[in-house]
């Protein structure tokens, strides 16, 4: 039995992906309405055309964790520590797969680093250009599963592999997580560009230089440069920076127009929280991240959205270094 902790849109999509391969999957949620919706009817909640696999169930009971053969954690990055702090004693040494894409705001820790403070399990990370609705609808999707132990990553990949979901494996967990985190902030920057109606040239520049920021920080932290050219780097960055389905992109548009974003109704924006974390990491590893820093300044109301481009364009001339 595979337990998916967190039954939001992405957790449900990953649970559905596993269940339609015939695996028994139990979604753990604290929302009684969500559990009832997942357990009733023949279709997935909000997707009447998507059949709910007969091996997919949901529960409110956290004790289900102790019965799992494998565990997937699909909580927002900023909620991961509080959940593990309360429930880590329910985890055995079964493999754990993390779906988070972010950095803890208060500590600057990656999701795997948080998990290792509480768990003795083999930790893996799934990250890539993956929108939950397209996974649910069976639209061809590729992703990356990272683990320090390649055989563990391959075992997870075998559970997911299907005609519509293609996992690749690698062992650069730092790179995969930094890619998934930094792309959120760069997507916010692309949203600001859209909100200011600056055009495609500007968006392309932000994406390319954002990739450079991602690689600089990741390599300083011990990642491999080539990881950032893969699905968890360039792939995820491209998807998130181009699609209006991206919550981070939409948040950037809101920022550019000096409007408010209500997380309680519009959803968690990992890029908002990650921008604060990246400032800490950039200082710790002495890495320049000018785009990320401009996004944070706008969040803090230290700069006007219309001035961001001038700040970036007036930087000293330099060689293009990836």
Secondary structure of the chain as H, E, C letters: CEEEECCCHHHHHHHHHHHCCCCCEEEECCCHHHHHHHHCCCEECCEEEEECCCCEEEECCHHHHHHCCEEEECCCHHHHHHHHHHHHHHCCCCCEEECCCCCCCCCCCCHHHHHHCCCCCCEEEEECCCCHHHHHCCCCEEEEEEECCHHHHHHHHHHHCCCCEEEEEECCHHHHHHHHHHHHHHHHHHHHHHHCCCCHHHHHHHHHHHHHHHHHHHHHCCCCHHHHHCHHHHHHHHHHHHCCCCHHHHHHHHHHCCCCCCHHHHCCCHHHHHHHHHHHHHHHCCCCCHHHHHHHHHHCCCCCHHHHHHHHHCCCCCCCCC
46 is in an annotated binding site: no
Is 128 annotated as contributing to ligand binding? yes
Q: Is 210 annotated as a binding residue?
A: no
The answer to whether 9 is a known ligand-binding residue is yes
Q: Is residue 12 part of an annotated ligand binding site?
A: no
199 is in an annotated binding site: no
The answer to whether 300 is a known ligand-binding residue is no
**Does the annotation flag 102 for ligand binding?**
no
Q: Is 6 annotated as a binding residue?
A: yes
In the residue annotation, 183 being an active-site residue is answered as: yes
**Catalytic annotation, pick one of 67, 105, 183, 284:** 183
Question: Is 11 annotated as a binding-site member?
Answer: yes
* Binding-site residue set for NADPH: 9-10, 30, 47, 101, 132, 247, 270
Q: What residue numbers does the annotated binding site for sn-glycerol 3-phosphate cover?
A: 101, 128, 183, 236, 246-248
Per the annotation, binding residues for NAD(+) are 6-11, 247
Query: Any idea which residues carry the catalytic annotation?
Result: 183
Binding site membership: which residues?
6-11, 30, 47, 101, 128, 132, 183, 236, 246-248, 270
């Amino acid at each position: 039995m595979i337990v998916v902790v967190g039954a939001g849109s992405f957790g449900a999509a990953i649970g559905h992906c596993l269940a339609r391969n015939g695996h028994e999957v139990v979604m753990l949620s604290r929302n009684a309405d969500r559990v009832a919706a997942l357990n009733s009817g023949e279709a997935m909640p909000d997707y009447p055309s998507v059949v709910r696999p007969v091996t997919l169930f949901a529960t409110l009971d956290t004790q289900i964790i102790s019965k799992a053969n494998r565990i997937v954690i699909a909580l927002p990055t900023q909620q991961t520590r509080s959940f593990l702090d309360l429930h880590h004693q329910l985890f055995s040494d079964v493999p754990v797969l993390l779906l988070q894409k972010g950095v803890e705001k208060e500590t600057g820790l990656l999701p795997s680093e948080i998990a290792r403070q509480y768990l003795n399990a083999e930790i893996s990370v799934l990250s890539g250009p993956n929108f939950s609705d397209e996974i649910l609808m069976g639209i061809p999707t590729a992703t990356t599963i990272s683990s320090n132990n390649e055989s563990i990553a391959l075992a997870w990949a075998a559970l997911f592999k299907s005609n519509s979901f293609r996992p690749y494996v690698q062992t650069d967990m730092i790179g995969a997580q930094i890619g998934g985190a930094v792309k959120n902030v760069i997507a916010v920057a692309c949203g600001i560009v859209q909100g200011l109606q600056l055009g495609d040239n500007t968006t392309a520049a932000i994406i390319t230089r954002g990739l450079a920021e991602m690689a600089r920080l990741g390599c300083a932290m011990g990642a491999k440069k080539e990881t950032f050219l893969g699905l968890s780097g360039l792939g995820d960055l491209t998807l998130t920076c181009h699609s209006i389905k991206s919550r981070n992109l939409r948040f950037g548009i809101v920022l550019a127009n000096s409007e408010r974003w209500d997380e309680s109704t519009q959803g968690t924006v990992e890029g908002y929280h990650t921008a604060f974390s990246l400032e800490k990491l950039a200082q710790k590893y002495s890495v320049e991240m000018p785009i990320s820093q401009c996004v944070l300044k706008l969040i803090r109301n230290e700069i006007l959205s219309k001035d961001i481009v001038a700040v970036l364009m007036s930087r000293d001339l330099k060689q293009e270094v990836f």
